Amino acid sequence: MSTTPTVYDVAERSGVSIATVSRVYRTPDSVREKTRERVLAAARELGYVPSGNARGLASRSTGVLGLCFPDLSDPDTETEAAAADADDDHAFMLYSDQIIRGMERAARRHGYALLIAASLKGGPESLVAKVAGRVDGFAVLSRTVPTEDLDVISRRLPVVMLAGPRENDELDHLDHIEVANADGQRELTRHLVEDHGLRRLAFVGGEERSPDAQARFLGYREACRAAGLPVREEPDLRAEMMTQAEGARAADELLDRADAAGPPPDAMLFANDQMAIGALHALERRGVRVPDDIAVTGFDGIPLSRLVRPALTTVRQPMRQLGEEAVELLVRRLGAEREREPVDLMLPVSVVRRASCGCGRE
């Protein structure tokens, strides 16, 4: 009997037809939830990985690398890009766009194509099914795919985790790349407090399951405590989606709170640039001067951060390098270093001081 589980094994274990197993992976919404869960549980127990290319899976060579990413699009940024000149497309690239470009560049250099699954529609299992059987290895953004699914797939294919700290012992065997989120936010906060004398700070974070946003809040909290400033155990506000619209909403809410409970903050620190840019627009609509009345900062260093007015003070992270390093680790795993110990890379960041905090005013 083959040691590699097949669709037939999953069908037998879960008590359904082969066609049903196929539908679970291709069109999950067409299968009843209880049946879908039974099939996925059987697949995990057996260590089954769906294959879109049986010959490629058997030979372990498809010439393709995969990237699993949630949909991180921002409608406001897309609208701005559509209204701009075609030559300015680069200015509207977001975090995920930069990582993809880095991966594409490195993959092409090594003779690989890149397959991107950038939507969570249909659930994480559907996302995994789109790439796992069609690639030689893949990178996945931390907390995008359930641990048990990653554990199954990584028995067959090299997997690199991107962003955030290592999640748990079950994934310790995977290569992992992150950026120094806490260090960057700590230094940016220190700059606002010590160099600009700002004392009333407000931090707008992302959803709790975002490891990068959590690390950034940790750095902010550490800097506030080191400066003797009062700081909450949770961000002053959390955004469900780290978009311009959410940043504008957060800025409005922070100002409305101040109207009712005391003076507004001296500075609003946002967990990414998109939210900070949205906040700049909201503050301008309300007649609040940045940075004279309130300083605003972001994180990521997307191209748009230098084009808004005032230009945004931020922490620049090496997004393209993140993608390039992911490919390098996958290629090494597929080559002579298949059995080496897992690699942990921490990429440095840098604070970019611009007009939105009061630096470098034109």
Higher-pLDDT residue of 124, 43? 43
The length of the chain, given as a count of residues: 362
Instruction: Tell me what pLDDT residue 78 has.
Output: 46
Cα separation of 273 and 303, whole Å? 10
Instruction: Tell me what pLDDT residue 266 has.
Output: 98
∠ Cα 106 109 110 (to 5°): 95
Higher-pLDDT residue of 157, 205? 205
Q: Hey, what domains does the chain have and what are their CATH numbers?
A: 1-48 (1.10.260.40), 56-179+319-347 (3.40.50.2300), 181-318+351-357 (3.40.50.2300)
Task: Band the pLDDT of 261: cuts 50, 70, 90.
Answer: confident
Ranges 118-122, 226-230, 317-321, 339-343: which has the least confidence: 118-122
What pLDDT, in 10s, does the model give residues 275-305?
Answer: 999 999 999 999 999 999 999 999 999 989 9
What pLDDT, in 10s, does the model give residues 123-137?
Answer: 555 566 667 778 899
Cα separation of 139 and 119, whole Å? 15
Please say if the pLDDT value at position 257 is more than 50. Answer: yes
The answer for residues whose C-beta is within 8 angstroms of residue 113's C-beta and 6 or more apart is 63, 64, 65, 107
Task: Band the pLDDT of 241: cuts 50, 70, 90.
Answer: confident
The answer for residues whose C-beta is within 8 angstroms of residue 105's C-beta and 6 or more apart is 320, 323, 324
Cα separation of 201 and 183, whole Å? 18
Return the top range by mean pLDDT from 75-89, 168-182, 304-318: 304-318
Buried residues in 335-361 as b, exposed as e (16+ CB within 10 A): eeeeeeeebebeeebebbbbbbbbbee
Cα separation of 175 and 155, whole Å? 13
Instruction: Report the percent of the chain where pLDDT is more than 90.
Output: 50
Higher-pLDDT residue of 15, 362? 15
Task: Band the pLDDT of 72: cuts 50, 70, 90.
Answer: low
Please say if the pLDDT value at position 170 is more than 60. Answer: yes
Instruction: Tell me what pLDDT residue 81 has.
Output: 42
Instruction: Tell me what pLDDT residue 145 has.
Output: 74
Adjacency order of strands within the sheet including 237-238:
237-238, 201-205, 267-270, 295-297
Please say if the pLDDT value at position 8 is more than 80. Answer: no
Ranges 12-21, 127-136, 148-157, 213-222: which has the least confidence: 127-136
How is residue 63 annotated by DSSP? S
